[in-house]
A and B are shown apart, each in its own frame.
Chain A
Amino acid sequence: MKNKAVFINGKRKYIFCGDEQGLKLLSNVLEKGKEEGLTYDRYLLSDLKMTLLQDFLKSQKMGTFVYLAIPFLVLQQFRKALEDIGYLEEDVQYIGYGERKIPVFCCRCHEINMSNQEQNRLFCNRCSLELEVSDHYSAMHNAFLGYVAKL
């Protein structure tokens, strides 16, 4: 996860994708791509509709490189969705903006807490249990599972 796009040369095709704010963040790499005369598509992700984007990306050929710029809050969700349709870590550059918080599901009371990305532990707002943030993710809750931090 980055907060600034970095240009990667030599791909077969590029897709610059983001919501309105996100596409602005991609303007420098997009310009660079134009200069180099590369094949590319620009994709405006209105309303952050994941399934439409999935369909669009599914129809692309192998060797396509994706820049995806969206709010940090929904970034994980999109990463999973892209992985599900076969876009690996090396095929995509994720650029986040806005509040850098991640939702954490309390294993004891099911409350979804917002945690700073940097902190690995937090106390649940509702039941006060100390939670350790894991990378187990639920798309339905759009949250990561927080396990009991210490016994």
Chain B
Amino acid sequence: MKWTGDLAHFPYPFKDSTYRYSNNSIPMKQPFCIEVTPSYKKEMLLKRKLLSDHPERCYQSLPHSITGQWEIVELLIDHLISQYPQHFSVEKENNSWIFFNKILDEKVEFIFGDENSLSCEPLFFISHHVQEDLIYMRQRDDDLYLDAGQLCFPANWSLAFNIGMKFKNIHHPIPGFKEEGLDQRILQFLMRLEAGTPWERLNWSLMAGDRLDTSLETFDQWGKLRKHVTRENAGELVHIRVEVQKLFRLPRTNSILFSIHTHLLSLEQLSTNREWLQQFYEILSELHAHIVEYKGISHYKASLMHYLEEQLERVKAT
């Protein structure tokens, strides 16, 4: 099964021909935290299978997160029906809600705020209707804590390990992050996040293969493909993985919803855009060794560069 997205809608992540870690968040133009793409059905099928087969890996929550979870349900349903009224709708009578997902032909009835009216936790329920992974960060004592989350398509990290963790601690594995004071600056930025003014950022990495579910728990399986990259197959095998990450303040619980929508594109497809190819090549040529290592590119960087050089020559010749 191919999970690669289409070129026209791909959130190409680069502006300059160099890449450094920075706070690259920008205010959102359209304040919606979800996006329904043409692969909606396919991805929902995969996501639901992961949620039911591996609940501990894909879903975690602490008991006091329930109120915040309802806030997320409200926000997401609101965004779904205003952004995609042809696909989603809701009927509300006092606290009795009936939610309709017309793409999947489903109807869910529940009492808003009453956990017993659903067969699962509120965040778990709404996760079954959006492509995004959803992380709930609660603000207390001048810090942000990962108090609940649904994560099916992680870029090689473990929600089960990170549950309950503080923002800076979560980012501990990233080389240079603490040393450059970035973790502190980003935390301050997040704590000032205001309701009604959401922000978004793009994060990118490379992977061998086209799996969406690259969890740390299964790294021993999918990570092996890194060793199979050659200059001949790099175009097909290596994918750029871009996460559209959105940050919304939830005013009632003074917490933050962090949503992650993951897109994949093969380098072959990326190379069909001349400017992208040139810029991407320049970025990789110049990328600091510690970032190359952290993003897991070291194994196959040489083959990758050969592949890109060949593509550049091909383009120049035409």
Contacts and interface: CB of A to CB of B under 8 A. Distances in A.
**A: contact size bracket:** 20 to 34
B161 interface: yes
B70 to A, nearest CB: 23
Contacts of B160: 110
Contacts, number: 49
B105 interface: no
B56 A148 contact: no
Nearest to A109: B217
Interface string B42-62: 000000000000001000000
A138 interface: yes
Contacts of A137: 169, 172
A68 B217 CA distance: 36
**B: contact size bracket:** 20 to 34
A145 interface: yes
Given A105-B161, A107-B216, A140-B163, A151 B173 contact: no
B172 A136 contact: yes
A139 B165 contact: yes
Given A148-B220, A151-B227, A107 B164 contact: no
B97 interface: no
Interface string A109-129: 110000000000000000001
Nearest to B226: A151
A151 B224 contact: yes
B219 interface: yes
B139 interface: no
A136 B226 CA distance: 24
B164 A108 contact: no
A145 B220 contact: no
B303 interface: no
Contacts of A147: 216, 219
Contact of B162 (A108, A138, A148): A138
Most A CB atoms within 10 A — which of B158, B164, B223?
B158
Interface of A: 80, 84, 105, 107-110, 129, 134-141, 145, 147-148, 151
Interface of B: 56, 158, 160-166, 169, 172-173, 216-220, 223-224, 226-227
